[in-house]
Structure 1
């Protein structure tokens, strides 16, 4: 399958044995939505033993967490609120939609490709569900841009990765970086009042789902490396370092893209600063944004079992940056 270019994504075909989770028919009620949201953001293990990475118990509880916190919202029935002209223009002009849609398209395939290679049934099922949820994120974005008339660049066909593990590592660590900033930006947008509360709440399940995704990734990485013999672990750690170098290079450079009219344009992959200005009307400083990202990162993870590992790289870097910054910005 390495040479295959996929025109249609179907995780059931890509990952043998995977079955999508059941979802209720019809439009969910307010009570059902509230209950699903509560279950998606809080989970505790009932086992008393240590959840040591690499053990069967750790793997079992990580995968159980991911199953138990599944949120059965359906993109097709999300209610997109009507926007006034100024808010609509603000949404349309955000410099994120092309990258967001294409990122979800890549992520779903890369996760499914790596899940396909796993011999452990529990972890294979969890990563396949992760891929299914990434496809659902793409559906949410597609429905939103359709609802608000946002023009996107044509999507290139998604190619099956030659090295599924590398592709999964790139996607997983990239989500750890992007989600850390997205948590803060999302809260900044909510506080700014520039967007209707109904629109913010519509995206809330997607944001919390990203928290679950990187929680799964952090624990998969610890479980995977702990099970490797020392000679394979050295190779794995070198691959992880190469992934971080690749992501660092990607985020300080400019990516070439095609706009809605088919014209080449420069697009900054690191849109955190420009995104912050867009969602707050320029009213937030870098120091304030980093502090907000840290607070939101902590809040979103706070409901999950404390013995499960969290992504640590971005919080550590943010704390270091805050210590180096002057308090007056």
Structure 2
């Protein structure tokens, strides 16, 4: 597929090749710009229109953070905290997911003719590569045992692979927003460590904002006769993601140790990243609040992902009903 510099639209091969920030003020300004953007175009941004397409691409380009998380001083962790980090059953999946994402997005970008959309998705691929490098450096810094990475092979059905990655990120990022905030509030991990990952979490928000608007643009511009097949593929993707999240993945590291990876950790792992109890409905509330907060700085005319917030509201409602029914049963037993 060529070098990363060719695939990723004139961006450097490595995050270490980015220019160092001149001062702390530049880092702070870049972080602010990564979280706030509005199109200068007036009026609605209708999916399928040139204005919407350009706004989508401009948002992603203009909010690029050239410094963080490229400048990382990994904090020294006490033995108890280090054990918590090393014990989380996510690192193999996290590294491999970013490795797959960068390849799938780069492969899909190579198929796109429109220069604006091609540039945006290429940049997205570059940022996925940066996330993988960040995780690799963290794994090395804290000596986290890992299974050998599988070879990353360009997918045969590039569109399918891109849809799987995009929808998966929309769901995982939504619940990760809540889990990350829960970890911060509980103080389960030191502030220095959560501060290190904060810009990465905001980048994930930008990624799913781009995907949601690409999806709307793609649907609006595709020929009508392709739409039924595409929507059937989308349904199949959701079926695949549901199956995937109901399963566990077992990997073996280079020392022969078995690791069990939870594909649904962003929903089920609250007790592993926080030392406080939280009910499912309250956690769904937190995810919805964090989702709103992270998107608040971007142009409200750009579409937001809807599936994960809908799932959260359903889970919250079901949880409230269960709490009410359980309370009634307990009251009647007294």
Shorter-normalised TM-score: what interval? over 0.9
**How far is 1:60 from its partner?**
0.5
Instruction: Look up the match of 1:278.
Output: 272
**How far is 1:29 from its partner?**
2.6
* Structure 1: 5+ residue stretches without partners: 2-8
Runs (4+) of structure 1 exceeding 6 A deviation are none
Query: 1 CA distance for matches of 2:255 and 2:282?
Result: 37
The 5 Å alignment of 1:178-197 reads: 178-197=172-191
Deviation readout 1:33-88 (Å, 9 max, x if unpaired)? 11111000011111113211011111011100101100112555311111111111
Are 1:324 and 2:315 matched, yes or no?
no
The 5 Å alignment of 1:214-225 reads: 214-225=208-219
Instruction: Look up the match of 2:297.
Output: 303
**How far is 1:27 from its partner?**
5.0
Q: Alpha carbons of 1:257 and 1:186: their partners in 2 closer, same or farther (altered >3 Å)? A: same
Work out whether residues 35 and 298 of structure 2, in 8 Å CA contact, stay in contact via their aligned partners in 1. yes
SS at match of 1:281: coil
Instruction: Look up the match of 2:11.
Output: 20
Deviation readout 1:180-225 (Å, 9 max, x if unpaired)? 1110010000001111111111111100000000000000000001
Query: 2 CA distance for matches of 1:97 and 1:245?
Result: 25
- Pick the structure with greater CA Rg: 2
Deviates more, 1:28-37 or 1:81-90: 28-37
Query: 2 CA distance for matches of 1:139 and 1:74?
Result: 13
The 5 Å alignment of 1:73-152 reads: 73=67, 77-152=71-146
Aligned equivalent of 1:36, options 30, 36, 57: 30
Aligned equivalent of 1:245, options 239, 242, 259: 239
RMSD, aligned CA: 1.9
The 5 Å alignment of 1:204-223 reads: 204-223=198-217
Q: Alpha carbons of 1:260 and 1:284: their partners in 2 closer, same or farther (altered >3 Å)? A: farther
Query: 2 CA distance for matches of 1:219 and 1:258?
Result: 38
Deviates more, 1:107-116 or 1:274-283: 274-283
Instruction: Look up the match of 1:314.
Output: 308
**How far is 1:286 from its partner?**
1.6
SS at match of 1:54: coil
Deviation readout 1:89-132 (Å, 9 max, x if unpaired)? 11111111110000000000000000000000110010000000
* Structure 2: 5+ residue stretches without partners: 325-334
**How far is 1:258 from its partner?**
2.1
SS at match of 1:155: coil
**How far is 1:260 from its partner?**
4.9
Aligned equivalent of 1:57, options 51, 62, 83: 51
Query: 2 CA distance for matches of 1:96 and 1:57?
Result: 39
SS at match of 1:171: helix
Work out whether residues 76 and 143 of structure 1, in 8 Å CA contact, stay in contact via their aligned partners in 2. no
**How far is 1:266 from its partner?**
4.1
Are 1:257 and 2:251 matched, yes or no?
yes
TM-score (norm 1): 0.92
**How far is 1:264 from its partner?**
4.8
Q: How many residues align?
A: 320
